[in-house]
Structure 1
């Protein structure tokens, strides 16, 4: 039987653990953890993501400092806003919702965020800490994948892993986290030749390319572990829309030993790791909680 890696259920469990910790720690510190999400413009998908994150903060007991700004907000204003949030003692995590309007330099803004408040784990300092194997805030989606594998008893050490996608958001940090867990890792991308031959040799395949049903049964060896990071919106014959992954789930799931569904797999874990990073930053910044830093995700 194929093992379904249920991210929705695991996310609920982890959020419940975070809720209990925040409830216990808030009286000690005198305030709850705080997350500031900056959204520029009126992208409908971004607005939905931000609402989802705010609701998750409410469930866990994290204070939200949302900043929803017009699409023509100047770069200089955003840099000043991030500087204010860096200095705000109520704020433990800062997230810039991507994408931003074309006139905004998102790299500059991401680099302006205090690395110790970098809830998305995308600052060069945190990526450098990942490369060096040092503690730090990790990229949310890859961290969510690692937690999903760990919680389901999947031993990564010694396995051959192929990551499809090389973005700084998922592909590169995903490869580094798998390598840190002692997998042998290959990163594939749009210019990789004979991809199916490569993926058929893998024990673990992680797809993060954003192409619906790209991975078929021909790409997967029997017994492989398949992690689908892709979220693609496609139109049905009835003129409605539904979400699908990069993996042809119906074709691949009978072959795989374990697989993530879309939706309900990696997506819920990404939001949960954002909450985790905010609470972890809170612990790191509060001397009263120094002894608690190793208890998250335990």
Structure 2
């Protein structure tokens, strides 16, 4: 029996409907959520993402402004631009598109975005909050991947999960988030002696490494859930294709559920970004109201 293919687009549609309702409520209160996207230099690589984000934002009632800056823009100039956006109450979220020119370290920019406007969940404070099980503005890919697992008929408490990949922005936060939900988590990486030994013992496997075909069917327990976060471009006889980190054919023969690439974690990640946008707008509205509330004497 083949694995059930998880429809990321259906999950996205449900999330988008909820986001649109909240955006409409905020707009009625005079706080229509607004995102600003920052691209620097050659934007061809990020263009598809930006267009997709813009389309999703507009369908959810979120304003979206795409800003492109020349490649020679300095780190100091960009820092100043971000500080200006931090101080602008009309802007609720900032997205930093990658790749960036070599002279612009992405981590410095991510640290500059105010945590209340960090809709990507990439500020060190946002990543660190996961340790305390605070997901107010969690990293979008991480929250999306775990959200997909939650839609399956599996009880998270006590679930044995293997996470393949231990990056600071995906693997490690997923592990902390799953532990917070009661799962028992094993994290594998390039120094792990036998990844297959761990993955074959697990009820769910997450993979985020950036190596096409890394996970094969023989590495999975029959009936396990496989959440593939990898995005790779490969050349085939029919031309270039986008694939994940799992060999979809062999894994599909063994897994109980599997996410396709594209169409799995990707769409849910963008929906999570929009969810963060309306949440950030709500948090900022309350922050301003508390800060400037009139007190009666």
Q: Compute the TM-score of the two structures, normalised by the length of structure 2.
A: 0.93
1:100-249 equivalent positions in 2, closer than 5 A: 100-238=100-238, 240-249=239-248
Deviation (angstroms), 1:38: 0.8
Report Cα offsets for 1:179-226 as digits up to 9, x if no partner: 111111111111211111121111111000111111111211111111
Report the equivalent of 1:34.
34
Deviation (angstroms), 1:153: 3.3
Report the equivalent of 2:294.
none
Report the equivalent of 1:296.
none
Q: Check conservation: 1:205, 1:224, Cα contact below 8 A.
A: yes
Report the equivalent of 1:11.
12
DSSP-derived class of the 1:253 partner: helix
Report the equivalent of 2:272.
273
Q: Check conservation: 2:22, 2:278, Cα contact below 8 A.
A: no
1:23-62 equivalent positions in 2, closer than 5 A: 23-28=24-29, 30-62=30-62
Deviation (angstroms), 1:4: 2.1
Deviation (angstroms), 1:234: 1.1
Deviation (angstroms), 1:87: 0.5
Unaligned runs of 5+ in 2: 290-297
Report Cα offsets for 1:46-87 as digits up to 9, x if no partner: 111111111111111111122111112110010000000000
Distance in 2 separating the partners of 1:157 and 1:265: 24
Report Cα offsets for 1:115-139 as digits up to 9, x if no partner: 1111111111112211112353100
Deviation (angstroms), 1:99: 2.2
Distance in 2 separating the partners of 1:144 and 1:214: 21
DSSP-derived class of the 1:109 partner: helix
DSSP-derived class of the 1:156 partner: coil
Distance in 2 separating the partners of 1:272 and 1:154: 23
Q: Check conservation: 1:122, 1:168, Cα contact below 8 A.
A: no
Deviation (angstroms), 1:43: 4.1
DSSP-derived class of the 1:226 partner: strand
Distance in 2 separating the partners of 1:288 and 1:281: 10
Q: Check conservation: 2:37, 2:95, Cα contact below 8 A.
A: yes
Report Cα offsets for 1:150-201 as digits up to 9, x if no partner: 2233322101111111112211111111111111111111121111112111
The alignment's C-alpha RMSD in Å is 1.7
Alignment coverage as a number of residue pairs: 288
Unaligned runs of 5+ in 1: 291-298
Report the equivalent of 1:295.
none
Distance in 1 separating the partners of 2:4 and 2:80: 48
